[in-house]
Structure 1
């Protein structure tokens, strides 16, 4: 990048990716701090994001002595996007992370997840507890497995237009609209300091893809935004949306799995996020610490310095 004014992050400073074959697919992996081999930390992005969403955390974690591994998970960026919907269930998504550890020769790592990435990290700790050292999750707390499959439950509570439900009940509809309006959708989605407003009728993601004017303030500058937009213009949104289409399948896959996660964990909330905080988190994650930051959903991008300080302070406390 040349002659960029007021750039918060120079996109040229992000590591070049390596394509790595794992678990029957190929992942686009960004890596930094190889000199810190032996102290792995894996960063897992959410929807509809990219490894680049961790750009502010990489240098801080490397400086703190970690080997930082940041995959574009399946369905994202230049990573594989299988056509079968069931190839995006929790067993496949966590299997990719286990295979990534195997590739680097690590028995276990500390995992940091945001949004859907957090959901995968919680699942990883349940399905492969011996591969997880510590957990730091942002935005999405542990999701309790209730008596009804998640989409069925959400449909009863929130109705058919709730985007989780819509993705499942009307396959292909949202995908096509988001693909057609990728730049506008992401521009309207990646905002901060949103004004308080009643939810609009209709399906949230489709509304964002069609809205002529964004609300709030832009989350990132144009060069940063372009990284996300160009990635989704190439990959499309179906692979990432397929994660949602496995929620009920995941509910069944986790039926016999121990719901308690004993690992040391840090849960970071955004106080202005629409995702509610969990009142029962410690019931399922007994060794959890909780932090809240004054921001919305895109925590590590909205408040990068505060996020880094919170993460590093907690990691340091775990050494004591």
Structure 2
């Protein structure tokens, strides 16, 4: 039995956003849980239950382009100004002054931007796997291309619609390939090899996720799934209906976001927590090294034995860390 609160809707910024809410409305500041790619508010099902039962008000939206929320056509409709603006509008709709923003994967990038762009609405920030970094010294797509080559998935996302077509035509295969626990690490294993281990790929693929999904053979994958069949079906049904383009359009704004952030002060001036996953090969714990320079009030926590899908792989520990930090820092 999968437990989720009732789906609710709010209209603002030219979209209709679907979101879930649980816990006492008197609790403040609430925690807003922001998912990554390719995910949904459903990715936070374990935390919604645990936090609300601990007396914490929780809000988890399907963000722009995903699930029950609108998918505007223009690529520019998915830039960081729109994504952070939607979270502010959701607070306005719920008549909430300030919130703690919790983000995983792409959601992490969005929540670290919230105190930079909307400081009066942010009580605190929690990044899960995704660190806060200074503005890149050059266009990030150019940097990815130089470091990883043309086949790296983010470079591919910015080059054509072919990745969208690959994922859209293989929805269940996409989640079978992605939503798995990593294999036990070999001490000298290359990070890219770890990322691609269960997908029949080699480090030379440089995170060529569309091609890896296209070639995926479940019978050759030794990794354990992190989703039950019923849980996987929720993702498959949602992405079969929506396709993947809305979420991929977030990546297609990375250069635009970089250009438009030139004058932004990147210092985060609210209490912050960085939750790192021991075995995330794409966003390893080392990616958070030096964050303290940009986030003066920062605590760090390492979740052992977890790959990239941390809040779904180690839900009890993630929930416990969120509850402990929230109570200690905000009462």
User: TM-score, with normalisation over the residues of structure 2?
Assistant: 0.90
Structure 2 Cα separation of the partners of residues 215 and 130 of structure 1: 48
Unaligned ranges ≥5, structure 1: 1-9
RMSD: 1.4
Q: Are 1:115 and 1:139, in contact at CA under 8 Å, matched by a contact in 2?
A: yes
Aligned pair partner of 2:23 in 29, 33, 43: 33
SS for the counterpart of 1:243 is helix
For residue 146 of structure 1, report the CA deviation from its aligned partner.
2.1
| Match in the other structure for 1:212 | 217
For the 8 Å contact 1:195–1:215, the answer to whether it is kept is no
- Give the match for residue 151 of structure 1: 141
Contact residue 78 and residue 250 of structure 2 kept, 8 A: yes
**1:107-256 matches, cutoff 5 A:** 107-169=97-159, 171-196=160-185, 198=193, 199=196, 200=202, 201-202=204-205, 203-213=208-218, 214-256=221-263
Quote the offset at 1:81 in angstroms. Answer: 0.5
C-alpha separation between the residues in 2 aligned to 1:15 and 1:319?
Answer: 25
Aligned residue for 2:288, secondary structure, equals coil
Q: Secondary structure at the match of 1:251?
A: helix
Return the alpha-carbon distance in structure 2 between the equivalents of residues 74 and 156 of structure 1: 30
User: Alpha-carbon deviation of 1:262?
Assistant: 1.0
Contact 2:31 2:59 in 1 (8 A): yes
**Deviations 1:58-108 (CA, angstroms, capped at 9, x unpaired):** 122112222211100011002101110010000000000000000001111
Contact 2:37 2:105 in 1 (8 A): yes
Whether the aligned pair in 2 keeps the contact of 1:182 and 1:209 (CA below 8 Å) is no
Cα contact 1:93–1:120 (8 A) shared by 2: yes
Q: Do residues 285 (structure 1) and 295 (structure 2) align?
A: yes
SS at match of 2:252: helix
Normalising to structure 1: TM-score of the pair?
0.93
How many pairs does the alignment contain? 309
Q: 8 Å contact 1:188–1:209 — kept in the other structure?
A: no
Maintained 8 Å contact 1:28/1:79: yes
SS of corresponding position for 2:296:
coil
The answer on whether the counterparts of 2:166 and 2:210 sit within 8 Å (CA) in structure 1 is no
Residue 28 of structure 2 contacts residue 99 of structure 2 at CA under 8 Å; is this kept in 1?
no
